[in-house]
Chains A and B, each alone.
Chain A
Amino acid sequence: MEPEILLKVEGLTRHFGGLAAVSDLNFEVRRGEILGLIGPNGAGKSTTFNVISGFHKPTAGKVYFAGEDITGRNPARISRKGLVRTFQHGSLLREMTVYDNMLVATISLMRTRPERDRRVRETAEMLHLSDQLHELAGNLPHGLQRMVSIAIAFARRSRLLCLDEPLTGLNQIEVASALAIFRRIRDELGSTILLVEHNMKAVMEICDRIVVLDHGVFLAQGKPIEISQNEAVISAYLGKRK
């Protein structure tokens, strides 16, 4: 039986020189939920992602994944445990085909080419990329490039998907289709999603719970409706009422 708490962040602190990008952050991601991590620019969302996924070592604090301490492990090992992340900018292999982008993602997971091939084709099917398999990823329009980024992460069928601003630059139709895909990934395959995103409408629509950061500090957490009415959150985004 999987633990109910999939990811637990405890007292997470990360300094860059004298600047505290994240201080004493605590939150948890429950299995099967879509958790939004939001905050104004510079709130420490990306730093939090980098520490969770092993790209930065925390100054203090712990990260537990499925009950296991993964603090400070290297990114490849964390990925093999079943936690995969995307990057805000350019999370794809531009000079390679869409097919190879996904293929590379499956290599550390499966031994044989036929297994990898089947997984790539299933993933392409689900993310509507089957017609672009042999295009170079860098030549695709922006919306499809975003989909390839998600496809790379999703091809691993990881237990936890950490998506860093996956909707940036997408039009309304593309956002709707991406959200539908996130739901399918969660509902049909039981993945858990941790989402950093600036598109508030989308976040409010898809997330089960939301955690808000501001200037590296935990500000609030709760259901979307609670967050949208939270005074502290509103003033962090819009500035304090005079």
Chain B
Amino acid sequence: MAKLPQALLAAAGVGAVIGSFFSGSDFVSSLIIWVAINVLMTASFRFVLLIGELNFAMAGFVGIGAYAAGIATTLYDLPLALSLLAGAAAAGLISLVVGFVTLRAKGAYFLLISFAFTEVLRLIYSKVDAIGGNSGMVGIFPPAYLARFYPTIVVLVVLFFLFILYRLERSDFGKILVAIRNNDDLVQTVGIDVHLTKVWCLGIASFVTGICGALLAHANNVISPGDFSFLLAVYTLAYLKVGGESHILGAVLGAIVLTLLAQYALGFGAYEHIFYGAAIVIGVLLLPQGLFGLVQRMLPGRRRPEGSGS
């Protein structure tokens, strides 16, 4: 039943790995990295949407991951793997605390709190001189002997965590998350601590988000506070809406398609954001189930997946 999406994902993954390995041009390598990171960010954003919350704090946690990894690499000369882990752990642990305090709020209230969190973090980065203040941190490079393989590493890490998120969603834990979105009071009556489950959900998603930030920092070599504003979450929302939120492959599709199309939007200069706004509007109006829904309808004889959409 679920074999086709897995096969598609595997095929895309193999393609990306091969492509990233043999790509000669810097531009293509960078593009592969951006696409891969956006895919994972969208998947982690969607993971919190399983409990029904739009997590704009995601942009903040990308920033925490990026800065933590930047500090680990530039100040402490940690190996790449440990830097990535530092970014993930920092984002994950902080999110557990933030989630414990804020996840009593739901819907619009949580959205606003998570939005504020992201913006407050951005202001903090710009005021702290030890991490570069407004001008940001520079010199975050992967070690020289790995630089050649960095696109491949990014793709492999992204595929690994996509697989983890997919398995988690299919597990009984994932079913609890969807159940909470459906009816959180009912989930309490069957003996499940809804609040703690939501905190863990955010923690797992933010751990993955932290990895994204760490990968991004090592790809761009420079990070500055402006990279992690709420707009990052808005883009992610656009990827997800266009791709379709009923399946993790929707996140993958949306991020790939929009990231590639956005290369043209860069030419619009200051009007670039119109592109994302238009993408959300078009996605919501014309493709309520997103590109994934479209693909599904074109494949005959397949039922709608269980427990989909919100």
Contact residues of A with B, CB < 8 Å? Answer: 53, 55, 74-77, 79-80, 84-87, 90-97, 100, 103-109, 113, 116, 134, 136, 152-153, 156
Contact = CB atoms under 8 A, between A and B. Distances in A.
Nearest to B178: A96
Contacts of A116: 172
A100 B307 contact: yes
Contacts of B183: 90-94
B191 A156 contact: yes
Contact of A53 (B178, B189, B306, B307): B189
16 contacts: A76-B192, A79-B190, A84-B189, A92-B183, A92-B186, A93-B178, A95-B181, A95-B182, A95-B308, A104-B187, A104-B190, A105-B190, A107-B190, A108-B190, A108-B192, A134-B306
A109 B172 CA distance: 13
B191 A109 contact: yes
Nearest to A106: B190
Interface string B168-189: 0000100110110111011111
Interface string B199-235: 0000000000000000000000000000000000000
Contact of B188 (A74, A92, A94, A152): A74
Contact of A97 (B185, B191, B306): B306
B106 to A, nearest CB: 15
Nearest to A155: B190
A90 to B, nearest CB: 7
B77 interface: no
Nearest to A86: B189
Nearest to B173: A107
B121 to A, nearest CB: 32
Given A93-B179, A95-B182, A79 B306 contact: no
B191 A79 contact: yes
Contacts of A53: 189
Contact of A79 (B182, B189, B310): B189
A108 B193 CA distance: 9
B186 A80 contact: no
Contact of A91 (B178, B186, B191, B310): B186
A39 to B, nearest CB: 23
B131 interface: no
B54 interface: no
A79 B187 CA distance: 10
Nearest to B194: A76
B168 to A, nearest CB: 14
A103 B309 CA distance: 20
A115 B306 CA distance: 22
Nearest to A90: B183
Nearest to A82: B191
Contact of B306 (A84, A85, A136): A136
B185 A76 contact: no
A75 B181 CA distance: 17
Contacts of B181: 95
B175 A104 contact: yes
A55 B189 CA distance: 9
A12 B228 CA distance: 52
Contacts of B172: 103-104, 107, 113, 116
A80 B310 CA distance: 29
Interface in B275-308: 306-308
A153 to B, nearest CB: 7
Given A95-B178, A107-B172, A107-B176, A100 B192 contact: no
A26 to B, nearest CB: 25
B151 to A, nearest CB: 38
Given A92-B183, A95-B182, A103-B175, A156 B188 contact: no
A96 B194 contact: no
Contacts of A85: 189
A136 B309 CA distance: 12
A100 B175 contact: yes
Nearest to A99: B306
A136 B305 CA distance: 10
A107 B192 contact: yes
Contacts of B188: 55, 74-76, 79
Contacts of B193: 74, 76
Contacts of B182: 93-96
